[in-house]
Structure 1
Amino acid sequence: MSARLDVELVRRGLARSRAHAARLVAEGRVRVAATPARRPSAAVGPEEVLEVVADTEDPGYASRAAHKLDVALESFVAHGVSPAGRRCLDVGASTGGFTDVLLRRGAAHVVAVDVGHDQMVPRLRADARVEVREGVNARSLRAGDVDPAPDLVVGDLSFISLRLVLGALLDVCAPGADLVLLVKPQFEVGRERLGPQGVVRDPELWRRAVADVCADAAARGATVRDVQVSALPGVHGNVEFVLLLRAPGPPVTTGPSPAADVTGDAGTPTSPVPGMIEAAVAAAREGSRDVGHGRPRRARATVSRAGRS
């Protein structure tokens, strides 16, 4: 009897959950009888060979998304930003990719928040430095919900505009905290502007999405410190950006911190932020990231299991 591909991947132990299976399919890492799978809902038979492509050089992060934060933090060292010894908040934690990076870079404590349940990988859930809060919408966070207040916030949120969450994140964090957040244009520009498979391909829409988030952050008193294109695209090749903000208040870290006024007239530039945005969009357009089709260029190995167990 046939079953859904995502269900069968979980049954055979090739995926932790159906959501994880769907991500593997979206990343092009699943093969059915040596043919790349395209839909997690595809029907597969019990005797069909399923394969999941794995990176032999992968450092073993809890998720692919971890590489996005790892590369961003390496770059943000120039701004004095490091997780070492800090109280951190990870919103949209999912399986724990960002939490994993924070711990490996010396974070003292991480509160991992996600609206879902049972996604965090066991080794991170069991880590004494990690506090997992499931079934929590980041938009509902308020001052005092995380005590002591985090001085570093990281976020990888989907299916919601970052502008709807920024207020809550700035409320819950410590004064002067650093925020490293992914901006995903596909969740900022509106459904009517999405292309096939929900992909945003127009660089002007990328620019507008990032500029709108920066303007909202500035209106809430935050400082825009840097804007970069993500080291990896999202599923289906969506371009993403990484935003470094400083919350209002005395700074926790030192380093370059340009003014965050992005609301001035286009003809009277008052801030370097528009230039940061343009540079990030140009980098995305030129494909200057060292990735191919959403995966780092590494040697890969294949894990496979035949149907019957």
Structure 2
Amino acid sequence: MNKIRLDLLLVGQGLAPSQEKAQALIISGQVKVNGQAVTKPGTLISPDSALAIEQSFPYVSRAGAKLARALQVFPVKTRGVTALDIGSSTGGFTDCLLQAGARQVYAVDVNIKQLDWKLARDPRVKTIEKNARYLEPSDLKDGPELVVMDVSFISILKILPAVKNIIKQGDLIALIKPQFEARRNQVGKKGIIRNRETHRQVLEQVLAGVVSLGFSVQGLVASPVLGQKGNQEFLVWLKPEAGGLSQNNLKKIVEETLTDGQEEKN
């Protein structure tokens, strides 16, 4: 009997509504095959294997699994911190932070009504309806120790100056979406980038821009969950201070991340 990718098998057996959600469940350690946890979506599995999901999808949106991956890889403190979620949307990042022990999360979005009702009524969540480019320290009662960011239709480089004014020390994890960082002629049909060289150019460009704004790059990892149109995305760990990886090491980490991301999908 031919083996099938685990993520596709979950969808085929009705255990996940889509391949993307199946991937998120697998990466977050929720799926067991014959009693053993499997965390790679591309693992080939026999169709007659016993599949089990320990619990339903753990976050209010699939974005939560993206941040969860970063928190697995980067040694960033979450327990007891005040965090700022820029581009909160339905709240996947916010939900992930709360489950990781954050004391309080400021959820910022131009349309805060998108926030999942479970989070909107959670006293630990403070909502701010505002364009993050114009965010001021006075908008937050308590200064954040951790900032996370997931924005669309704009480069993260346009928002980082405002972030720099808000967080003086601590950590920032930003989702890099190449389709919104690349030049128009680098983006393929339907807004999808599949070319590895384009990913490399965009990542190197963004990381150089980040450094020029006074942040240091601490780490980079490929998102385990693709964007809604199928775009590969990446998570970068920053600190609001000089230092971090050298120019040569930035190129090296980009190459390693692209390679690791491809292996993760296979």
Which residue matches 2:220? 227
Which residue matches 2:84? 89
Q: 5+ residue gaps in structure 1? A: 1-23, 30-54, 250-257, 263-268, 291-309
AA in 2 matched with 1:215: A
Aligned length: 220
Which residue matches 1:281? 258
Take 1:75 and 1:92, find their aligned partners in 2: how far apart are those partners? 22
Q: Is the 8 A contact 1:232 1:289 kept in 2?
A: no
Which residue matches 1:115? 110
Take 1:211 and 1:95, find their aligned partners in 2: how far apart are those partners? 30
Take 1:289 and 1:84, find their aligned partners in 2: how far apart are those partners? 30
Take 1:104 and 1:124, find their aligned partners in 2: how far apart are those partners? 12
Which structure's CA Rg is the greater one?
1
Aligned counterparts, 1:91-170, within 5 A: 91-134=86-129, 136-170=130-164
Take 1:214 and 1:151, find their aligned partners in 2: how far apart are those partners? 22
Report which structure shows greater RCO (CA 8 Å, sep ≥6). Answer: 1
Question: RMSD of aligned C-alpha atoms?
Answer: 2.3
**Residues 235-282 of structure 1, C-alpha deviations (whole Å, 9 max, x = no match):** 121010100001128xxxxxxxx63443xxxxxx3xx22211111122
Take 2:21 and 2:71, find their aligned partners in 1: how far apart are those partners? 27
Shift of 1:168: 1.1
Q: Percent identity?
A: 36
AA in 1 matched with 2:83: C
AA in 2 matched with 1:225: Q
TM-score normalised per structure 2: 0.76
Q: 5+ residue gaps in structure 2? A: 1-16, 23-52
Take 2:19 and 2:72, find their aligned partners in 1: how far apart are those partners? 27
Task: Choose between structure 1 and 2: higher helix proportion.
Answer: 2
Which residue matches 2:244? 259
Take 2:106 and 2:220, find their aligned partners in 1: how far apart are those partners? 25
Take 1:182 and 1:27, find their aligned partners in 2: how far apart are those partners? 17
Take 2:20 and 2:257, find their aligned partners in 1: how far apart are those partners? 23
**Residues 54-79 of structure 1, C-alpha deviations (whole Å, 9 max, x = no match):** x88433411011100011101113xx
Q: 1:188 aligns with which of 158, 162, 181?
A: 181
TM-score normalised per structure 1: 0.66
CA distance 1:82–1:189, change in 2 (3 Å): same
AA in 2 matched with 1:189: A
Take 2:229 and 2:54, find their aligned partners in 1: how far apart are those partners? 23
Q: Is the 8 A contact 1:90 1:153 kept in 2?
A: yes
Take 2:194 and 2:175, find their aligned partners in 1: how far apart are those partners? 17
